[in-house]
Structure 1
Amino acid sequence: MSALEVRDLSFAYGAREALRQVSFSLAPGRFAALLGPNGAGKSTLIALLTRLYDLQRGDIVVGECSLRTAPRPALRQLGVVFQQSTLDLDLSVEQNLRYHAALHGLARRQTGLRVDAELARQGLTERRGERVRELNGGHRRRVEIARALLHEPRLLLLDEASAGLDPASRLALNQHIRSLCHEQQISVLWTTHLLDEVHSGDDLLILHQGRLVASGQADALSLEHGGNLGAAFAHLTHSGASR
């Protein structure tokens, strides 16, 4: 069973088509990179996956639950880190996590255990009482990851999660998410426009002008379309080649 299936997904803003017949699946416990230039449709796809936008055509299935017919069970299996931070800066790290747990209906004892576990996993135990506005960008991202994992989702979505971070923090965050994927067998969909955030063994999806122009393992796609990822990406996003 796939962790995520996107089936013939199309979406338009009025007359402007943002996504056109996008289909792909994500295997359990895999790190998949969704790569595309700015304006490719990545954020629109994330908005549809998280139901910020209603589906127009096609379907999205998380586990066995369709966002069209069973949105609540589907969304319960998702953890999300958006490009723009949604933390309350005036609450402490722990208060942000407890508020999120309450929204998911976690019991008090379960909340305490989950908060302790995720703070430890993210290396934030000693910062639990600090207000979020006192943290640097990298630590704020870790708080958002902890929050996204509190309810133990099967799929973690990260929309340009490294935006605004310095190179060292970007690298550390990318490596951290890969470790979580391996240790917890959680599926990850990481959207980016930066080639250096994609590794050779990743599952790779390349989106261009609203179309999925390539999908497969990153090293195989690189060999097929130019010999290295940079050349393959330039070719696919210049020519608009079909999948």
Structure 2
Amino acid sequence: MTGLVVDGLSFSYGRKQALRDVSFRVEPGRFCALLGPNGAGKSTLFALLTRLFTTRTGRIQIMGHDLARTPRKALAQIGVVFQQPTLDLDLTVQANLTYFAALQGLCGRDARRRIAAALDRLDMGERARERVRDLNGGHRRRTEIARCLLHDPAVLLLDEPTVGLDAASRAAITRHVHDLSENNGKTILWTTHLSDEVRDSDQLVILNHGQVRTDGTCATLRGAQPLADYFQRQSKAPTCAAA
């Protein structure tokens, strides 16, 4: 069963075509980076994948569930980290995760066990009692990733999760999420415009002007054609980070 399938997806804002016949698939256990400049259509695609937007043109399947026909079953399979922070700054890390767990129908000993495990995975266990307001940007992002893991989703959608973070925090979070795909079998879709967050072995979907320009492994695409062709807004070709 394929983790994520996007087939013939199109979307317009009035007369402006944001996405045009976008198709790709991500297998379970794969880290797929959706790479493209600002305005390429990445956030629109992410909104469709999370059902913030809907369209009649095209199809989305999540772990075999059609998002349009069986949205509850499809959405139950995903964990989401949005580009904009969504934590309650005045609650502790533990309280934020407890609240989210309750929304997922998790409570009591099971919820506490899942929260502890998720925080430990992200090296956040010692900060469980700290207010989110007192955390730095990197630790807030780790908290959001821990939160999206509580209901054990098969597919993780992360929309530019490292925006505004320093290089060390970006590297640590990217490493953690790669580990989730490699060692836990999670299907990852990671939207970014920063090519150094992508490893040679990762799947790479390049989106520009609302269309998929190419789809393959980073190492293969880097050797086949200069990626600068797809980035008119950047002054030089991006390179993929080594695995």
| TM-score bucket (shorter structure) | over 0.9
User: Partners in 1 of 2:227 and 2:208 — Cα distance?
Assistant: 10
Q: Which residue of 2 aligns with 1:235?
A: 229
Shift of 1:56: 3.2
Shift of 1:138: 0.5
User: Partners in 1 of 2:169 and 2:203 — Cα distance?
Assistant: 23
User: Partners in 2 of 1:39 and 1:67 — Cα distance?
Assistant: 25
Which sections of structure 1, spanning at least 5 residues, go unmatched?
226-231, 239-243
Q: Which residue of 1 aligns with 2:208?
A: 208
Shift of 1:237: 3.6
Q: Which residue of 2 aligns with 1:7?
A: 7
Q: Which residue of 2 aligns with 1:187?
A: 187
Residues 1:22 and 2:16 aligned together: no
Corresponding letter in the other structure for 2:164 = G
Shift of 1:108: 2.4
- For residues 124-135 of structure 1, the aligned pairs below 5 Å read 124-135=124-135
Match of 1:47, SS state, is: helix
User: Partners in 1 of 2:66 and 2:211 — Cα distance?
Assistant: 22
Q: Which residue of 2 aligns with 1:100?
A: 100
Match of 1:79, SS state, is: strand
- Alignment deviations for residues 141-199 of structure 1 (CA, whole Å, 9 cap, x no partner): 00000000000000111101010001111111111111122221111111110111111
Shift of 1:222: 1.3
Aligned residues: 232
Q: Which residue of 2 aligns with 1:199?
A: 199
User: Partners in 2 of 1:168 and 1:56 — Cα distance?
Assistant: 42
- For residues 133-148 of structure 1, the aligned pairs below 5 Å read 133-148=133-148
- Alignment deviations for residues 43-97 of structure 1 (CA, whole Å, 9 cap, x no partner): 0011000011112311110011111000011001000111110000011101110
Corresponding letter in the other structure for 1:208 = N
User: Partners in 1 of 2:218 and 2:169 — Cα distance?
Assistant: 23
User: Partners in 2 of 1:126 and 1:173 — Cα distance?
Assistant: 17
- For residues 159-170 of structure 1, the aligned pairs below 5 Å read 159-170=159-170
Q: Which residue of 1 aligns with 2:218?
A: 218
Q: Which residue of 1 aligns with 2:113?
A: 113
Shift of 1:121: 1.0
Q: Which residue of 2 aligns with 1:228?
A: none
Q: TM-score scaled to structure 2, two decimals? A: 0.93
RMSD: 1.0
Q: TM-score scaled to structure 1, two decimals? A: 0.93
Once structures 1 and 2 are overlaid, which stretch shifts more, 205-214 or 55-64?
55-64
Shift of 1:221: 1.1
User: Partners in 2 of 1:107 and 1:138 — Cα distance?
Assistant: 27
User: Partners in 2 of 1:18 and 1:74 — Cα distance?
Assistant: 24
Runs of 4+ displaced beyond 4 Å:
none
- Alignment deviations for residues 202-225 of structure 1 (CA, whole Å, 9 cap, x no partner): 100000000000001111111111
> What's the % identity of the aligned pairs?
53
Match of 2:142, SS state, is: helix
Which sections of structure 2, spanning at least 5 residues, go unmatched?
233-243
User: Partners in 2 of 1:136 and 1:22 — Cα distance?
Assistant: 36
